[in-house]
Amino acid sequence: MDINRIDQEKFIFASLFDITNRLQVLGDRKLKGTGITTRQWFLTLVIQQKQPKAPSIGECAAMMGTSHQNIRQLIKRLEKRGFLVVKQDLHDLRTQRLYLTQLCREFWDTRSSEDLVFINEIFNEFEEKEIANFFGYIGKLRKLINR
């Protein structure tokens, strides 16, 4: 039986939700005992990628596809842990910028090899060409939904 395009699209759409949820569960298991969640890890990654300029709360919310309120909850937990500092923008007092602390950087540095193993375990059955294609497809999808 052939599956038509709309059925394939529905399957892909639903699968992306499923994969996201399962990756979060796997990530939280790997981080168990650290006091950090996968969502908090994701926020630190977003902040790090925006360097050298510290991102605003709004920029992080947009990059993570979530609300300011959700980001603020993550910020509160990361601040309490000593991983994050929030400072007023010098040029726009309405904007708050997010800075990772040295403690945060050291924490992730100590985990880097373990985290690479985790990522490799997820993608180890993909060939180089499949990874390159997947990377391109994800990039294209992100551009389309961020219009």
pLDDT score of 1: 60
Within 10 Å of residue 44's Cβ, how many Cβ atoms? 20
Contacts of residue 118, defined as CB under 8 A and 6 or more positions apart, other chains included, come to: 26, 27, 30
End-to-end CA distance of the chain: 35
- Helix (H) or strand (E) run with residue 39 in it: helix 38-49
Whether 85 and 101 have beta carbons less than 8 Å apart is answered as: yes
3-state secondary structure of 92: coil
Taken in order 125, 127, 132, 133, the sign of the CA dihedral is negative
Whether 139 and 122 have beta carbons less than 8 Å apart is answered as: no
Strands 84-88 and 96-100: antiparallel
Query: Is residue 104 predicted with pLDDT exceeding 80?
Result: yes
CATH number at 115 reads 1.10.10.10
Average pLDDT of the chain is 93
pLDDT (tens digit per residue) in 70-86: 999 999 999 999 999 99
Range of the domain at 99: 5-145
Query: Is residue 65 predicted with pLDDT exceeding 80?
Result: yes
Total tally of structural domains belonging to the chain = 1
Higher pLDDT, 51 or 40: 40
Distance from C-alpha of 78 to C-alpha of 64, rounded to nearest angstrom: 16
Mean pLDDT across 113-139: 94
pLDDT score of 147: 79
pLDDT score of 146: 82
Distance from C-alpha of 47 to C-alpha of 49, rounded to nearest angstrom: 6
CA dihedral 85, 91, 95, 100 (to 10 degrees): -20
